[in-house]
Amino acid sequence: MSRIPISHKNRIRGEERHRKRADLNLSANNAADLLALEETLTAVDVILADAIQTVSDDLDIVELAVIDIESDSAALTTRVDIAETDRTTIVPQIGGGVLVALRENEIYDGGTYTLPLANSVLENQTIIITLPDEFRDFTPIVSVTGSDAIFYSGRSTTASVGGYSILFDAKKLQSITLTSDGNAVWGL
C-alpha cells in the first residue's frame, strides 16, 4: 500500500476546511437572507392587518350610514303616514267644490260638493264630512266624481246613474265618514 505524503494530507485537510468554511458562509448568508425575508413578511403582515382593519372600519361606517338612512326613511314614512291620516286638520268648505281626502271637511253652506276620486287615495283611507250645528239649516249635497260609486246599506250610487248624491239634512245627518276601496268606490 502506498502512503499519502503528509504535505498532501495537509492540502486535502485544507481543502476540506475551506469547503466547510464556504458552507458555513453560505449558511450564514442564507440565515441572514431568511431573517431579512421574515422581517419583510412581518412588515407585510402588519400592513395587511392595518388594511383589513381600515376596510373593516369603513364597512362599519357604511353599515351605520345605511342604518341611519333606513331609520330616517322609516321616520319620514311615519311622518307622512301620520300626515296622511291626521284627522285634527279641519278643512272649512264654503261655496261647493271638491272635498279634501284624508281630512275632516266642515261644510258651512248649502253648496254642492264633490268627493275626490276613490283611486286618488289608498284602500281603507277615509274622508270625513261634517255639518256643524251652527250651519244645520243648510242642506249641502255631496256627490261622486266620474264613474265612482258610493256604497251604503247594500245599495250603490254612481254619477252616471242620475248623478245621485248624498243630501245632508241636519235633522238626520251631521257627519259621515266615507272609506275608499282604493279603486272606484267610497263606502259609507
Q: What is the pLDDT of residues 75-130, one digit of tens each?
A: 555 555 555 554 568 888 888 889 998 889 999 888 999 999 999 999 999 999 99
Better-predicted residue by pLDDT, 102 or 44 = 102
pTM over 0.85: no
Reported as type and span, the H/E element at residue 88 is: none
pLDDT(66) > 90: no
- Coil, helix or strand for 28? helix
Q: What is the pLDDT of residues 164-181, one digit of tens each?
A: 688 877 666 688 899 999
Measured CA to CA, the distance from residue 111 to residue 99 in angstroms comes to 12
pLDDT of amino acid 18: 67
Q: What is the pLDDT of residues 10-29, one digit of tens each?
A: 666 667 766 766 666 656 66
Burial (CB < 10 A; 0-12, 13-18, 19+), residue 186, is: buried
| Alpha-carbon separation of residue 115 from 33, 86, 150 (angstroms) | 89, 18, 10
Measured CA to CA, the distance from residue 58 to residue 45 in angstroms comes to 20
Boundaries of every domain in the chain: 1-85, 87-187
